[in-house]
Structure 1
């Protein structure tokens, strides 16, 4: 197992004492990262916690890259997401939109009592994106002295993914080449190689979503079983741990740049 959380770094909230958390929060330009994932089916070959595992790993990687220069902490991940469209295939634990939004607001309200100057809501699930945008506004309005930001981590790959991918557009969709590669690198023991199977994404609307990194401006609601009989979409057969390592490290580069900028703007 490559990735470990909970106490693996000094920027890990869960592994610190309250005094150390307060000491970090009180420093100029302090930054708090809240990873937000989901528990939902990811086909026959990936675990239901895939989104939570990956966003938590990327959050910690970014924090570890900058923790010598930036006062930063990463909270335990918010593990359940907004995933009603996955319910028909089983294994999913979803929250109502308003319940999840209020829960994230409550977490922010209490965590920010420790003095942090900025809060990054780092999202790992496409179905959470509109909710994260709403949370940035509601939390930002409530905490006028804190810079509140929201980001879906895999969108950071847009600048480099063409250097790595082998699949055509549609191959890096749900449980496809991208997520499977990352899981093979980070948590290979959770990937069922013999169960890898997924159809390519076939979106009829030209303006709809065509890939993990090609969202399109048109939102369409469908139950997930309309896309895939396995619950996965894309080209997971093209995934590899080597690709996962390169994707992970280059996501770390992007996170390092962003976290440094947030710190400098709020110091």
Structure 2
């Protein structure tokens, strides 16, 4: 039986194919990051990982097979200490994740790859990946590194989600429950918690924002949910999915059509 590899999966190619791709002046690797952490009683532990893996896989379907863009296997286990009060959460240390990104990124740079996109689906490790990306650049200055958050900068979210959901629906709430209903409905339970979104915070401070606190989920939520998931539905999820795919396909294609940064 002849086996035809999936052209954009890094690990399915042979070393000669990788060597050829890396030589391209626009060679780019996408490395998705997620988490294995509690997402309430109704969503799977791998919610963030599933989201980023599914969206990027859909984005690849819009590109031609010969584009010099490859995807590393999604890093499912991430940095999730805020959820360690709940069974099922597995969290790696910040030092381990930073070291892993530096080691893998340095090797990609040595192969000749020009750009690395760290596309992250877990809000709790945004700052960590930003820091790791800067450290990677210091040891592999010839490769551009882009630490991105799946939900950041996506136009149209405010038309689909209320201000309350955008600001306070921090975890396993309306948006995440709806998106999972659109992607993998068989993994969604029947519960629709509404919890953890009415926290008394000193004036001017917030859970996340300009003056945040390093919160832990079990500070104010017994279910693990922060927000209101009661209105979740598949239709909203499909619209969110479309926004995410359109946003990232446009951004990635803009990058792939450019020579930035031109280090030659």
- Give the structure-1-normalised TM-score: 0.87
* 1:197-255 residue CA offsets vs partner (Å, 9 max, x unmatched): 1315234244424xxxxx41223123211221110121222112221111112111111
SS class of match (2:195): coil
* 1:7-30 residue CA offsets vs partner (Å, 9 max, x unmatched): 995212233333333332222211
SS class of match (2:164): coil
Structure 2 residue runs of 5 or longer lacking an equivalent are: none
How many residue pairs are counted as aligned between the two chains?
A: 254
1:241 pairs, out of 228, 234, 246, with 234
| Distance in structure 2 (CA, Å) of the matches to 1:216 and 1:167 | 14
The 8 Å contact of residues 167 and 235 in structure 1, kept in 2 or not, is answered as no
**Cα deviation, residue 75, structure 1:** 0.6
2:139 pairs, out of 142, 165, 188, with 142
Q: 1:212 — aligned with what?
A: none
Q: For residues 180 and 171 of structure 1, do their structure 2 counterparts lie closer, same or farther at Cα, with a shift above 3 Å needed?
A: farther
**Cα deviation, residue 259, structure 1:** 0.9
2:151 pairs, out of 149, 154, 162, with 154
Structure 1 residue runs of 5 or longer lacking an equivalent are: 1-6, 210-214
Q: 1:81 — aligned with what?
A: 78
Q: 1:63 — aligned with what?
A: 60
**Cα deviation, residue 81, structure 1:** 1.3
The 8 Å contact of residues 166 and 238 in structure 1, kept in 2 or not, is answered as no
Of residues 103-112 and 31-40 in structure 1, the stretch that sits farther from structure 2 once superposed is 103-112
**Cα deviation, residue 48, structure 1:** 0.6
- Which protein is richer in helix relative to its size? 1
Q: 1:196 — aligned with what?
A: 192
- Give the structure-2-normalised TM-score: 0.87
- Are residues 1:131 and 2:128 paired? yes
Within-5 A mapping of 1:1-267: 9-67=6-64, 70-157=67-154, 159-165=155-161, 168-169=164-165, 170=167, 172-192=169-189, 194-199=190-195, 201-203=197-199, 204-205=201-202, 206-209=204-207, 215-263=208-256, 264-266=258-260
Q: For residues 124 and 73 of structure 1, do their structure 2 counterparts lie closer, same or farther at Cα, with a shift above 3 Å needed?
A: same
| Distance in structure 2 (CA, Å) of the matches to 1:24 and 1:69 | 9
**Cα deviation, residue 62, structure 1:** 2.8
SS class of match (1:112): helix
The 8 Å contact of residues 109 and 142 in structure 2, kept in 1 or not, is answered as no
Q: Aligned Cα RMSD in Å?
A: 2.2
Of residues 161-170 and 216-225 in structure 1, the stretch that sits farther from structure 2 once superposed is 161-170
Larger radius of gyration: 2
